[in-house]
Structure 1
Amino acid sequence: MDADTRLPIALWAGRDAEQLTAWLRAHPGVEVVCRDGSLVYRQGITDGAPDALQVSDRFHLWQGLSKRVAEVAAAHRGCLPNALPDPEPAPQRPSAGAPSDRADTPTRRHAKRLFEAVHAVTDTGRSINAAARELGLDWRTVRKYAQAATWDECVRRTRPRRPTSLDPYLEYLRLRWEEGEHSAKVLHQELVAKGYCGHYQRVKMAVAPLRRGLPIDTPRERPPSPREVARWITTAPSRRGLHATERLNRLLAHCQELDHTNDLVRQFAAMLDARDADVLPGWLEKLTTSRLPPLASLAKAIREDQAAVVQGITTPFNSGVNEGRITDVKLQKRLMAGRAGVPLLRHRVILIAHLRRRHP
């Protein structure tokens, strides 16, 4: 891509440094090259245009940081449920002397018996396979119970129900049921008049617990995924929604590592906004000493390409126009059902772009 004319120059297949080197040598005079953090491209540009200024693209810098934040969140997956609000009303804890209702279910009693039987054999020093033969169980089952610290860990948890399009109308269904309307067909017609677009069967299933004297099954919110937490942290606070802000604040208050990661991300964002790379060495040192392996790995990668990263922070050069053309190439491939080769794509992308510029 030519950053001045914003037109595509060449398109080729492959990601090897030799091809890029040959192209740059055949087209001398390149002064600035904006690229991602690929070592292949870095080497190709160094060999083909040694005098050109290399700039590490800001978008790819932020993308690399976001991936490391997701890795940090994945390493602290056990903290993620703390982002959810406390249930209202909070369930009462049973007293020490009172028997637990949950422990009286057949599933939990079976898990407790298996846990005690497995540990009675494996705690004597016998192997997993030997214990499996003695107990007549599959070795995977024995391994699961042997590695568990308590029998409660071996009980399969019920997954929370996913939210549906009917959820905003559940309170209305409950009120209408209490008023005496018990026909699912009539209730469905009333919801359709209020804007509900779902099927009658979903309404019928929703009121089924009410027929048995049970409350409507309301959805339970799932803990955020590591990618979702990374998106919360890397989004500017002014652009975060209230829902995400509240959950992120709960999570950061509980997890010191994620709170430290959030501070480091905000510091890098401030560098990009101010186009000030003077504090970059100190920020890299904080990554190294953070005791978070993904961030320490990022610091090492940036130090190896620090000159280009500084240019990416302080100069206005970026690969935005190139990313737009890449999207265009993908669109052309989809339009031709993936059967377009490089020669045809070269004509469709490069020649048509120049023709559009000449004949708008």
Structure 2
Amino acid sequence: MRVEARLATVGAVRPGCGTFSERVHGSYMRFPSDLPSCGWPVVVLFRVRRFACGQRSCPRRTFVEQADGLTCRYGQVTERQRLSVAELGLALAGRAGARMAALLGIRASRSTLLRCVMDLPDTAVGIPEAVGVDDFALRWGHVYGTVIINAVTHQVLDLLPDRDAATLAPWLSGHPQIGVTCRDRASAYADAARAAAPQAMQVADRYHLWANLVSAVEKTVVDHRQCLHTLPTPLPEADPQWETPDRAPCPAEPTGKMAERRCLHHALVHDLLGQGMSERAVARHLGWSRHTVRRYARAARWQDMMKGPPRQRASILDPYRSYLERR
């Protein structure tokens, strides 16, 4: 997909001397690529004009107009595609960002993504009021540096080439507004903060507090490890006394019209069966179904015909349930 565009302005501002020029020296076409649209690549056919500068003191004789927000000098992509590629680089870095860009229809290699990230301006860190100072290894066991971060925003402020007080002191002197210095127990950092930032209160961060506590506890345990052999042998726990669960109370006799009717029907069916009648003959005589007559005939008591609350199934843990709940 191609989109043609051109600027309708009369002139442009000279980048060398900052004056306005309307002398058109010529024009040519630029083809910056834009973000894909519906999966189709987009190319902008942009005709730009070259202006001539009449100021003899200006170091540039000619210059090309730029569309703010669309192109930049020597750029082969639009500004919004460049910013999109930079955001992919910030989120996914090189190789993963390149794979995601290919899925989105953007042609960008991992080197392009990293270059766009490096071209982004540094964010303003503001004026730090509390800083954290700690060392880091450039080469473990050989070369170390110092990292200074904003203790409030957790942004890196500066990196120093070593971890000496002579290097940290000038940096602290250049920031007299610092009120809190968060450091480890290194004497070099303490001397630098005491000499260059006497107004700042020196505190220890949480990591070093925990690290020092763990180190102290470990050293104490090692020094007194012989005391572990003099501890009394713990006695085995006595076997628990099992408790027999109480028997459930006997349910009360059912009452009501349904109970009276079931009692009457149960007695009637068993009376007819006692006279020598079969279940089929009793069902025909009473006008009931054989299934209903069979239920009354097989019930030893009329109370068995009443539907009570659902009974819980017995479990092998029932004798020990109270002990388990107490434990």
With structure 2 as the length reference, what TM-score do the two structures score? 0.24
Q: Where is the helix percentage greater, Structure 1 or Structure 2?
A: 1
With structure 1 as the length reference, what TM-score do the two structures score? 0.22
Q: Where is the strand percentage greater, Structure 1 or Structure 2?
A: 2
Bigger relative contact order, structure 1 or 2, given CA contacts below 8 A and separation 6+? Answer: 1
